């Protein structure tokens, strides 16, 4: 959530940043929000002045009674009662205005970092680097949705029977590949200094607002209405909310957590060739890395997270590229995002497998996640997260890129986790 002080003091920069994210009616909404803020401050000042007058009169009543000025004391009592009624009305108006401001702030996305390129769609993203060789597959190579049928390792029809489309059943070597990847990703994160946590996969509404999924992604989340709980779209939500309403001692920074969870996304409106097979699911597994850092160290942390994710792709021997997302393709909450895409040889295209983002103070302001600086002043921290990694498209690329005429070779780094070297 953007800070009101930033909107007041850097109005032009805020509007320019919102426009870079292609946020509609940025100038009008910021102006309306600042007008609400002005009203709130006027009501606050009037409330405080009336409260001061009421307190002064209340203290004077006792002295007047003692000095025998009963009539004047009674008049003060009447006036004090009237002031209290006016103060109560102003307090209610203040509460209503503050709620309106809060809701308006919730609707504004985070501002992009200065390095974010302008643009509206994925076509405008900037390729930062590319690594690895594109595989040259044998004639008749199959896309992963045909490979999984050939080797009977993932069953979409069975998942559809049990639940519905987008909920596959992994079995045999497919199930072991899932478990191997999860353990490999977790072990690598722990070796890089991340503490493993296993959070709940249902969160309350406050947690959804804390990391910015609500109200922005309300329609994309599965909602258990009876208990007003949400199935998580990513482990970022519960892990980051561990630190909600917390003042973190500086000596404990940076905080580095990792966790594996299933993730649930409705993906309403998704259709087309890009959603075939494992390309887009309603339920999938992912290992997440999360950091909480001092503001001046957050962009160094983002680079480290990007390097860590790239290291996983290199060990899996997958060709990949890194993109710096443009303003129009970034998430609602991010200031700067690097996407990692792997090349899927049988499909002949790049597949996004990870996003690493710096949210600066946007989530921390919602979460009230703070630290005390050297002068003892409370300041907001920066939060970051990255997928390290999401499994479905990684599995798709491994299957497609490593297929041979007599089976699918597994990356060497996974052999100790799998107990086999080839799917056949």
Residue numbering of the annotated binding site for ATP: 265-267, 352-355
Residue with tokens 């990694």: 389
Q: Which two tokens stand for residue 202?
A: 């249902």
Q: Are 370 and 378 in contact (CB under 8 A)?
A: yes
Say if CB 59 and CB 2 are below 8 A apart.
Answer: no
Asked if 131 and 320 count as a contact pair (C-beta separation under 8 A), the reply is: yes
Local structure of 164: helix, strand or coil: coil
Q: Got the DSSP string for 364-398?
A: HHHHTEEEE-TTS-EEE-EEEEEEEEEHHHHHHHH
Half-sphere exposure of 128 (CA within 13 A, CB side): 18
Helix (H, G, I), strand (E, B) or coil at 293: strand
Q: Which residues are annotated as a binding site?
A: 234, 265-267, 288, 352-355, 385
> Residue 103, class by beta-carbon neighbours within 10 Å (0-12 exposed, 13-18 middle, 19+ buried)?
exposed
Residue 57 and residue 74: Cα distance in Å, rounded?
11
Q: How do beta strands 369-372 and 246-247 pair?
A: parallel
Q: How far is CA 79 from CA 50, 55, 59, 62, 86, in A?
A: 11, 11, 13, 15, 11
Helix (H, G, I), strand (E, B) or coil at 55: helix
Select from 18, 14, 55 the least CA-distant residue to 34: 14
For residue 217, which of 261, 164, 266 has the smallest C-alpha distance? 266
Residues placed in the known binding site for L-serine = 234, 265, 288, 385
Angle between helices 26-66 and 11-20 (to 10 degrees): 140
Distance CA 109, CA 337 (A): 14
Q: What are phi and psi of 61, to 5 degrees?
A: -60, -45
């Amino acid at each position: 959530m953007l800070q009101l002080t930033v909107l007041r003091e850097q109005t032009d920069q805020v509007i320019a940043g919102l426009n870079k994210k292609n946020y509609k009616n940025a100038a009008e909404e910021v102006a309306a929000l600042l007008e609400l803020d002005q009203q709130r401050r006027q009501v606050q000042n009037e409330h405080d002045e009336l409260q001061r007058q009421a307190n002064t009169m209340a203290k004077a009543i006792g002295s007047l009674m003692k000095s025998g000025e009963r009539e004047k004391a009674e008049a003060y009592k009447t006036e004090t009662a009237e002031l209290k009624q006016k103060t109560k009305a102003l307090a209610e108006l203040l509460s209503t205005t503050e709620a309106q401001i809060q809701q308006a702030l919730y609707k504004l996305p985070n501002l992009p970092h200065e390095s974010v390129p302008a643009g509206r769609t994925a076509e405008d993203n900037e390729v930062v680097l590319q690594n690895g060789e594109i595989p040259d597959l044998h004639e008749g190579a199959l896309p992963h949705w045909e490979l999984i049928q050939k080797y009977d390792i993932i069953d979409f029809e069975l998942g559809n029977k049990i639940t519905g489309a987008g909920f596959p059943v992994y079995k045999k070597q497919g199930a072991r590949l899932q478990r191997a990847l999860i353990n490999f990703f977790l072990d690598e994160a722990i070796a890089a200094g991340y503490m493993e946590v296993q959070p709940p996969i249902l969160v309350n509404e406050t947690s959804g607002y804390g990391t910015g999924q609500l109200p922005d992604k309300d329609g994309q989340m599965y909602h258990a209405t009876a208990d007003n709980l949400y199935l998580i779209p990513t482990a970022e939500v519960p892990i980051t909310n561990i630190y909600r309403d917390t003042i973190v001692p500086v000596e404990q920074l940076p905080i580095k957590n990792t966790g594996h969870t299933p993730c649930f996304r409705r993906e309403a409106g998704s259709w087309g060739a890009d959603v075939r097979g494992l390309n887009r699911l309603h339920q999938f597994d992912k290992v997440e890395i999360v950091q909480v850092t001092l503001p001046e160290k957050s962009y160094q942390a983002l680079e480290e997270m990007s390097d860590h994710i790239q290291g996983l792709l290199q060990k899996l021997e997958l060709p990949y590229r890194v993109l710096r997302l443009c303003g129009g393709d970034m998430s609602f909450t991010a200031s700067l995002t690097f996407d990692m895409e792997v090349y899927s040889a049988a499909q002949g295209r790049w597949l996004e497998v990870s996003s690493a983002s710096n949210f600066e103070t946007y989530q921390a302001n919602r979460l009230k996640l703070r630290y005390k600086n050297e002068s003892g002043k409370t300041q907001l921290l920066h939060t970051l997260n990255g997928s390290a990694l999401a499994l479905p498209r990684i599995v798709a690329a491994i299957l497609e890129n490593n297929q041979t005429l007599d089976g699918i070779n597994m990356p060497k780094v996974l052999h100790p986790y799998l107990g086999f070297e080839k799917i056949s």
